[in-house]
Structure 1
């Protein structure tokens, strides 16, 4: 099912966990609520149950710089 889910239009990420029966996280991008309903229906046709859903309106990110900081720290210790 997870391989089939990632092939659906609008699905951009599928994560599988080792917990119980709610072990898939699926991230989709939809144009509007109608498109979201279509994607949801396509997932249901794969016999996937949606237990919870969230609509994300904004995302904030920053670069991961741990390795740069570790290198600077190592140089300062020399």
Structure 2
């Protein structure tokens, strides 16, 4: 599986706590790593966008450039 990183250089893995460009904290969804589909992380057609559940309860997607592990 190709390694994808946050904007501050941390590998994106299931359950990683992230701060988004929407200025919200969230968690990288673990389920997407377990499904094994073609569009999921590690899949043949994965495009680098990860499902994130924000602390506000909303779910959305971000690529590594839009995630970091610390608040700027």
Whichever structure has more helix as a proportion of its residues is: 1
Whichever structure has more strand as a proportion of its residues is: 2
The answer to which structure, 1 or 2, has the higher relative contact order (CA under 8 A, 6+ apart) is 2
TM-score exceeds 0.5: no
What's the TM-score, normalizing by structure 1? Answer: 0.28
